[in-house]
Amino acid sequence: MPEVAYLDHAATTPLRPEALAAMTPYLTEVFGNPSGMHSVARAAKTGLEIAREEVAAGLGGAPSEVVFTGGGTEADNLAVLGAAHAAGSRGHRRVVTTAFEHKGVLAPAARLAGEGADVVYVGVGADGIVDLDRLADALDPSTVLVSVMLVNNEVGTIQPLDAVAALVRERVPEAILHTDAVQAVPWLPVAELTAPADLVSVSAHKFGGPKGVGALVVRSGIPLEARAIGGGQERGLRSGTVNVAGVVGMAAALCLTTEHRAADVARVTALRDRLAAGLDLIDGVHVHGDRTRAVAGNHHVRFDGVAAEALLVALDHEGVCAAAGSSCASGAAEPSHVLTAMGLTRDQARAAVRFSLGATSTDDDVDRALEVVPRAVEQLRGRARQPARVSR
C-alpha cells in the first residue's frame, strides 16, 4: 500500500505496536476461556483482571465498575437502554440528550421514545456546544436519564460536562448521567472530567487499541438492565465470553495514551494549527464550531462550491485520507445531523470535511494535505464552472 497522509484518526487509529505485543500471547498460547476453572482458563482470567485494573485506573473508576463491551456503540446502548429501562422509562418518564449525540446514543433514545418514554433533544449552538439554558429547561421531575457526550465526534468540540452535571444534580438529583467519552480519551484527562458521570463509554480503537472492544464504567450502585443475557459474565451486565486479547490490547493502549497524552496533545495541536492556517488561505473556507473549545486532533471545514464526497475522492486519489461526517455515517445520503443541529443548511452540511490527526501524525502528513487540498478544491471548482455538454 503506498504512503498516505492519514487524517482520519477520529474514525479509527492505528493499532499501537505495544498493544499488539500485549495481545499476542492471548491470541496464541494463553487461549483459555476466562470463565473456566482449570489452569489454562485461570491464566486468561488473570490477564483479563489485570487489564480491568489498568482500564479502571485510566478511566477513574474501580475495577468492579468496568464492564467490557464490543465497542463504544454497544457501551452507549447498554448505558442508555439499560439505565432507562432500570428506571422504568417504558412509562411516561423523561430521557434528555442533545441533538448532536453519536448515533449510538440517538438510536436507543429513539427506541425509548417508541416505547412511550418522553425523549427530549436539547439544542446546540453554532459553536458546537450544548445550550445549557435549554438543558436546564428540559430537566423536569420525571427525568430518569441524561446523556451528554464529552467530545463531539464530528466537530470535536468539548462539552461542559461539569456544568451539565451541576444542573442535573441540582434539578433532578436522582437522574442518571451518562457521557459518551469515545472521542475524548486521546486528548483530555478523562478520569478527571468524567468523574461527575454515573456511566462513561469508551472505545479502544479511538486511542490505539483494537477494533471491536470497548468499556462502560458503571459507578457503584447505579441500576442497569442488561442488554445481552445468558452466561452472566461482566457481573451479569454483558453476557458472552470476553474478548481477552482485545481487552488486554485496550488496556495497553490506554496506559500509553495516558502516559504520553500531554506531549501528544502539544505536538498534535501544533500540527493541527499549521494545517488550519494553511487551509484558511483557501478562498471560501468555513470552519465549524468554536475551535478554541475543540480537541487537538480535529479540524472541521467546508469549501464553498465543493461537495465533500467529490473532494474526498480527489484527496484519496492523491494519498490524503479524510472524512465527511462521522465514520458511522460514511456513505449516507443524508447530511450530518450534527451540522444541521448547529444551524448549517443541508447543502452546507453536505460540503463539510473532517481532518483529524492523532498520535502518529507527522509534519509530512500536514505538508501533503496542504499541497493536495488547495489544488483539489481549485480543480473541483473549475469543473463546476464548466458549462454542461449538450448531447446531440
Q: In the block, which residue shows the cell 477520529?
A: 10
Domain co-membership, 31 together with 139: yes
Helix (H) or strand (E) holding 96: strand 94-98
Q: Give the pLDDT confidence score for residue 91 in this predicted structure.
A: 55
Whether residue 135 has pLDDT greater than 80? yes
Domain co-membership, 377 together with 297: yes
Query: What's the one-letter identity of residue 329?
Result: A
Domain co-membership, 241 together with 299: no
- What does the pLDDT look like over 5-52, one tens digit per residue? 999 999 999 999 999 999 999 999 999 999 999 999 999 999 999 999
Last residue of a domain, one of 235, 256, 277: 256
CATH code, 174: 3.40.640.10
Asked, for residue 391, whether it belongs to a domain, the answer is no
Q: What is the mean pLDDT of residues 254-277?
A: 98
Catalytic residue among 126, 270, 328, 384: 328
Structural domains of the chain, count: 2
Cβ atoms of 214 and 72 closer than 8 Å: yes
Q: State the residue range of the domain holding 45.
A: 17-256
Tell me if residue 255 is catalytic: no
Whether residue 250 has pLDDT greater than 70? yes
Residue positions counted in the chain: 392
Asked, for residue 29, whether it belongs to a domain, the answer is yes
Residue 387's pLDDT band, with cuts at 50, 70 and 90, is low
Asked, for residue 387, whether it belongs to a domain, the answer is no
Domain co-membership, 275 together with 251: no
CATH code, 357: 3.90.1150.10
Domain co-membership, 171 together with 289: no
Whether residue 116 has pLDDT greater than 60? yes
- What does the pLDDT look like over 294-343, one tens digit per residue? 999 999 999 999 999 999 999 999 999 999 965 444 444 589 999 999 99
Domain co-membership, 112 together with 59: yes
